[in-house]
Amino acid sequence: MDGPLTGMRVVEVSSFVAAPLGGMTLAQLGADVVRVDPLGGGVDHRRWPLAESGTSLYWAGLNKGKRSLCVDLRSAQGRELVTRLVADSGILLTNAAIRGLDHETLVKVRPDLIQLRITGRPDGSAAVDYTVNAELGFPLVTGPEDHAGPVNHVLPAWDIACGLYAAIGILGAELRRRATGEGQSITLPLSDVALAMAGNLGFLAEAQFGGVRPRIGNHLYGSFARDFGTRDGHRVMVVALTARHWTDLVGAAGLTGPVSALESALGADFGLEADRYEHREALAGLLHRWFAGRDLAEVTGSLKGTSVLWSVYRTFADVVADEALRANPMMAVLDQPGIGRHLAPGSPLDFGDRAVVRAPVMGEHTDEILRTRLGLDPDRISALRDQGVI
């Protein structure tokens, strides 16, 4: 793949979401990323969802644009091959703890090595997105107001943020190496990614100062936003962040008079986010009647052309059936072995060429990598295969 990172070489020894996403982000920008897996595949090689063949849609989705090397990481010969590959590449991205592939060992063969290791916690212990999210408090402020238990989010938000942080960290270290000639050992704990964002978004400071974040269902904390049902069974999410958004929403719904009367009765100023939030239930009640008395087509006609932020709730199946998906230049049809032809995304970053490259078949590039990157001849490669090393 051509891109701004063409010429960069990365070795990835990883599993699950964060590290593979970091490697794929670099690959989609042009880096030559070699994913190293144990023989037979890593722990995430068969993770759901699966195609009818049993091929993991998840694994294929997170490894597009990479090359694949399969090697017995438990054997000394296998680790020696990976060590040589890391020395050739100069960059290692991993969330694995494998004997002989630690920074202290690898830096002896590549003094300017950049190695980024994702861990669960700062002390190196294990954690995953759902456990990190649970201990930070997010599931206890998510969900309906009258719900007593935690509500987990299906999106692994901290894994995603961690993967993108990993790509940024490697790029930052590479810029530093180009300026100073020095490598870098970087540790990126998943729990710190989540903790940092909880702090950056004000959740922690709010609690420090005695605030208690309530459960508010589908309302938006501190502003006005909510979902409404239409007469023909659709649901619409409406967001009014600014005074203009609010004015346009009220006008489109023909509620300027009733809302003004409510504003006067409450002594409120609905031009202010705080007042719209404080009286959200009363305002939502007025809007509920308007949405419930109209079909989606009429709602769409009223909101179209306004500044109001809104969208119709859709299923993944609805998204796939929408012709607009095929028109999106980020999307392409891939013929993925074991899966078949399907739409798949490239990088959201548009540098003018958004080519989408399929994920490798496990071990697909083993011979090629050993031959072109490590200089092994066919007889040596054949011998390694006979010995069960590759």
Q: Which residues are catalytic?
A: 159
Half-sphere exposure of 161 (CA within 13 A, CB side): 18
Which long-range contacts does 219-223 make (Cβ < 8 Å, 24+ apart)?
219/277, 219/280, 219/284, 220/277, 221/277, 222/273, 222/274, 222/277, 223/273, 223/276, 223/277
Instruction: Count other C-beta atoms under 10 Å from residue 388's C-beta.
Output: 11
Amino acid at the residue 184: Q
Q: What is the β-pairing status of strands 331-336 and 340-345?
A: antiparallel
312: its two tokens: 């119709």
Beta carbons within 8 Å of 140's beta carbon, 6+ residues apart: 150, 215
Contact predicate 286/262, CB 8 Å: yes
Contact predicate 66/27, CB 8 Å: yes
Which secondary-structure segment (H or E) carries 69?
A: strand 67-70
Burial of 70 (C-beta count, 10 Å sphere; 0-12/13-18/19+): buried
Contact predicate 78/389, CB 8 Å: yes
